[in-house]
Structure 1
Amino acid sequence: MRDIKNIRRSAIFVIPISILLSVGCFWFSFMETIPMLKDINALAPTIRIMPGAPTIFMTPFVFITLALVSVLNSIPCNDNILRKSDKALSIIFALGISSALVSLIFITPLQYYAMPKLGYTRCNILEGHPTIYFTDWVKKPEWCVRGKSREWVLEQARLASGPENP
């Protein structure tokens, strides 16, 4: 038999944390991942790629499903419903892990193949390069200068385009 009292006590923490983590993942998607895709599409002078970015799109669904399963476990309901919700959580969790593996196994080599074809040079010496899980790319190799920021690269690109293009 399930201990409903302890399940409800833990649900008080699981549900808000799951919702906050989901909101954080959506925020990261809109603040980091979508601008990265727009930069690639616009052939921006500098691009920062995170190979694990597609995982961020799957992660909120894991947390939302976890919150729903927590709600279903904290109310007395049919065991058949609980088994189906646990199975749904397992499937979504497996999809999240597989998207992470696909991201790391395929997107990392894909960027090293595709970005040079788009005219970019790898540059991991720019200031503000956060971790080894991000890769900076610049349009011109001379813009890859140690200690300079991505804003400096954008300024150099603006200056190189001439005064007629502000």
Structure 2
Amino acid sequence: MNDLQHIRKTMVWGTPLCMAIAAGCIVLMAHALIPTLQAMVSHADAVRITPAAQVAPFVAFTCLLSIVRGTLCSVPCSEGTAAKLERAFHLSAQAGMFALALVPVNSIAQRVYMPSAGYSVCTELQGSPSAWFTDWVRDPAWCVKGNSLEWVNERARSPQP
């Protein structure tokens, strides 16, 4: 019984924490992961790749499962339901660890495959070089020190003389 009270007390601060982390991961996916994938599929003129963003979906799913699992632990429920959720939680955590282990592989793979897709690495744009992302441009002439990724996209859209 004492354990049940401890779980309930933990859920008071654990639920908002997990919700905040999941919300942060969803924002990261919406602003870093999905636009990057859309830009790569549409062969955009400039792409900013954030390798660690691939972990965000797994972290968000694990946090949401933690909330559900914690809720089931704090109220009486069947062992079968709890075991299924615990198995899903463990699989999600393992998949997230695997995605985290693939971050260096992703960084190496982009150095190999992005040039074959017609992109050149650009370390001169505003905010580069950074450990958190890598900029790629189709035309190396667009890689001008101090300018932003948006400037490159505007320049690529404007008619060339």
**Same fold, TM-score > 0.5, yes or no:** yes
**CA shift digits 1:67-110 (9 cap, x unpaired):** 112112211345565455434322221111012212432x2222
Matched residue type, 2:102: V
Counterpart CA distance in 1 for 2:67 and 2:104 is: 27
Q: What's the counterpart of residue 59 of structure 1?
A: 59
Counterpart CA distance in 2 for 1:80 and 1:157 is: 57
Q: What's the counterpart of residue 13 of structure 2?
A: 13
Q: How far does residue 15 in structure 1 lie from its aligned partner after superposition?
A: 1.4
**CA shift digits 1:29-49 (9 cap, x unpaired):** 122211111111222121100
Matched residue type, 2:141: E
Q: 1:122 to 1:130 in 2, by over 3 A?
A: closer
**CA shift digits 1:115-162 (9 cap, x unpaired):** 111211101221133831211011111111221111221232123x34
* RMSD of equivalent CA atoms: 2.2
Counterpart CA distance in 1 for 2:84 and 2:116 is: 47
Q: What's the counterpart of residue 45 of structure 2?
A: 45
TM-score for the superposition, normalised by structure 1: 0.84
Q: What's the counterpart of residue 119 of structure 1?
A: 118
Q: What's the counterpart of residue 151 of structure 1?
A: 150
Show structure 1 runs of 4+ deviating over 6 A. Answer: none
Deviates further, 87-96 or 137-146: 87-96
Q: What's the counterpart of residue 35 of structure 1?
A: 35
Secondary structure of the equivalent of 1:3? helix
TM-score for the superposition, normalised by structure 2: 0.86
Gaps of 5+ in 1: none
Identity between Structure 1 and Structure 2 (%): 31
Number of equivalenced pairs: 161
Gaps of 5+ in 2: none
Counterpart CA distance in 2 for 1:7 and 1:50 is: 36
Counterpart CA distance in 2 for 1:85 and 1:98 is: 20
Counterpart CA distance in 1 for 2:141 and 2:129 is: 21
Q: What's the counterpart of residue 96 of structure 1?
A: 96
2:123–2:129 contact (8 Å) kept in structure 1: no
